[in-house]
């Protein structure tokens, strides 16, 4: 089937727009099954960036100096203590995948960005992770923080370290 100049223009603009959204690292772009359509794609939004900002402000309110490390990671400093915080958006309620990702990300970041610096580790989630994962993370020395309908909540270690604002 022959394509008109107009059709080619609309197709090119759509594809370029989707690629630009993907480069912003807030959206992801992947081609989907075209079926009966000329083009199709799936755009996914990474909500963890918003959570990074929310937690950075909360940490500053708690008296921490906050520094961004890479995408979605924070270094918190207060009274001579340092924490490395990794933020993860839980997608489709899959806390298992989020917890696995956070453990790997914290190990990686601890090794590469914290060489020679003693830092405690923090995982910040977009929703509660459940008691079993809270206990698992604490057994690894990782403080867990999550967003819930009442604001920020967290594990015993996170509360003990005063990493969660009290309203």
pLDDT tens by residue, 130-155: 999 999 999 999 999 999 888 899 99
Report which secondary-structure segment, H or E, holds 29: strand 27-31
The overall average pLDDT reported for the chain is 82
Any idea which of 5-14, 25-34, 153-162 has the lowest mean pLDDT?
Answer: 25-34
Q: Which domains does the chain have, with CATH numbers?
A: 5-45 (no CATH), 48-160 (3.40.1350.10)
Which pLDDT score is estimated for 32? 53
Mean pLDDT to the nearest integer, 32-53: 61
H/E segment holding residue 74: strand 73-78
pLDDT tens digits along 40-50 = 555 555 566 67
pTM score, whole prediction: 0.72
Query: Residue 143's closest CA among 151, 133, 58, 19?
Result: 133
What whole-number distance in Å separates Cα of residue 86 and Cα of residue 101?
A: 10
């Amino acid at each position: 089937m022959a394509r008109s100049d107009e059709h080619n223009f609309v197709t090119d603009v759509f594809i370029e727009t989707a690629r630009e959204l993907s480069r912003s690292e807030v959206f992801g772009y992947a081609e989907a099954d075209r079926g009966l359509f000329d083009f199709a794609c799936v755009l996914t939004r990474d909500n963890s960036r918003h959570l990074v900002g929310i937690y950075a402000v909360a940490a500053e309110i708690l008296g921490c100096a906050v520094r961004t490390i890479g995408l979605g990671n924070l270094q918190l400093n207060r009274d001579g203590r340092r924490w490395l915080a990794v933020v993860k958006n839980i997608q489709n309620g899959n806390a298992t995948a989020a917890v696995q990702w956070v453990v790997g990300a914290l190990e990686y970041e601890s090794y590469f960005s914290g060489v020679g610096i003693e830092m405690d580790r923090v995982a910040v989630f977009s929703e509660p992770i459940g008691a079993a994962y809270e206990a698992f993370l604490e057994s690894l020395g990782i403080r867990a923080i999550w967003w819930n309908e009442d604001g920020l909540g967290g594990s015993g270690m996170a509360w003990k370290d005063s990493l969660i604002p009290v309203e």
